[in-house]
Amino acid sequence: MSKLFENRMLYVSLLVGVTILVLVGCNAAEPVANVDSQAKKIVTFDGGAVTQGELDKFAEQSGLDSSMSKDDPQYQAAIQQIMPQLVDIEIAKAYAQEHDITVSDKEVDQEIAKIKEQVGDQARSSGQDLSDQEAYEQALKQNN
């Protein structure tokens, strides 16, 4: 089995495990009358919540067609796929804020550079003749 496949399986397994743990700890938000639909909490968790506005923004950033009706089964299926990702992000933000964890743009750029290098190394070890940037872009396309 190739090292790239083993690493990918590890990442997928970790993501599934974290998502399951996150979803177990989440509850549907209590219905609230007279609340702006964008401010309405749709998921709550210990330390925070996800609002309809945050979900709509994340859905748009994820490439979901904003002209789609919210009653459309395709829209509902897409929301079910992206909701765990959004909840994970919001839980991570709440945890970071609670524990005074901050990160600079420089630190983010350094981590991205490390990831690009690792992906490039994996691609070359599997026989692909790609630069770090090309391998990174290819990996992003495959995972999107």
pTM over 0.85: no
User: What confidence tens digit (pLDDT) does each residue in 21-31 have?
Assistant: 555 565 555 55
Give the mean model confidence (pLDDT) for residues 4-31.
Answer: 59
Report residue 130's pLDDT band, with 50, 70 and 90 as the boundaries. confident
Number of H helices, E strands in the chain: 5, 3
The DSSP result for 20-41, as a single string, is HHHHHT-EEPPP-TT--TTT-E
Residue 74 φ then ψ, to 5°: -65, -40
With left for phi above 0 and alpha for psi between -120 and 50, is residue 34 left, alpha or beta? Answer: left
The residue with greater pLDDT, 82 or 36, is 82
User: What confidence tens digit (pLDDT) does each residue in 96-126 have?
Assistant: 999 999 989 999 999 999 999 999 899 899 8
At 88 the pLDDT is 92
